[in-house]
Structure 1
């Protein structure tokens, strides 16, 4: 049995390396509002809005993973292309753009290395179509 919780591109979020404790997804929907006199506003569906995912997790380098896990996340995000997001059960969640990675270190040991690294990753679903991925 695999301990992979989620895969973003080639990076694996796993119980044995960088496990996330919290995952939240916000999906927005756009409705244009037209004011009317003497009655409620008229609403018109204008399409899907942004779809965002935030992950919060922790790495304990002395127990599992390494102090380099957040840097590996940054390396994957720095490729600069939308990345496939796949759940540990194999469900493909589409292409996602990493917008921000935050790292907090604490509980330092003698050489200054952290024994606890918290991370937060924010990404937005990419819906630009395959043509937008072409370099020309």
Structure 2
């Protein structure tokens, strides 16, 4: 069985299926600036800004995993629920929402079946507290 690179909800990214080639993670921090006379501005930490992850990958549907992998990503994202993100080493990275999925296809066989699918998924950390999650249950 192939090792899992990362799992988002029930969808697993792995070497033998939807493999991501690039992962970018961005975290912002908010600082309020107050001008002062005769010296530099005072800065005060006011909280965390958005945190995002973007993954770019490739799927060879005839190798393993089949043609429906990007469709399964989209189905799970369309649930409108935050999803647990877990790294391949088992580290729980929290709740995330999928903001967008894009797909490219190339090297086609008969009936327009692609031999290669490229995908990009954009996710944002969901941090609205437990109370906001309770409305889903």
TM-score class, shorter-chain normalisation, is: over 0.9
Q: What are the superposed Cα offsets for residues 80-104 of structure 1, whole Å, 9 maximum, x if unpaired?
A: 1110000111110000011011111
Quickly say closer, same or farther: Cα 1:61–1:2, change in 2 above 3 A: closer
2:40 and 2:67 map into 1 onto residues whose CA distance is 56
Partner of 2:43: 43
SS class of match (2:112): coil
1:40-81 per-position Cα deviation (integer Å, ceiling 9, x unaligned): 221110011111111100001122222211110001111111
**How far, CA to CA, are the matches of 2:37 and 2:115 in structure 1?**
62
1:78 and 2:78 aligned: yes
Q: Gaps spanning 5+ residues in structure 1: where?
A: none
Provide the rounded CA distance (Å) in 2 between the counterparts of 1:87 and 1:50.
20
Give structure 1 regions of 4+ aligned residues with deviation exceeding 3 angstroms.
none
- What's 1:121 paired with? 121
TM-score (structure 2 length as normaliser): 0.93
Matches within 5 A, 1:19-98: 19-98=19-98
Q: What CA distance in whole angstroms lies between the structure 2 residues aligned with 1:34 and 1:108?
A: 58
Task: Give the paired residue count.
Answer: 136
Q: What TM-score do the two structures reach when normalised by structure 1?
A: 0.94
Q: What do you get for the CA RMSD once the two structures are aligned?
A: 1.4
1:105–1:17 Cα change, 3 Å: same
**Using the alignment, how far apart are the partners of 2:96 and 2:40 within structure 1?**
37
Greater helix content:
2
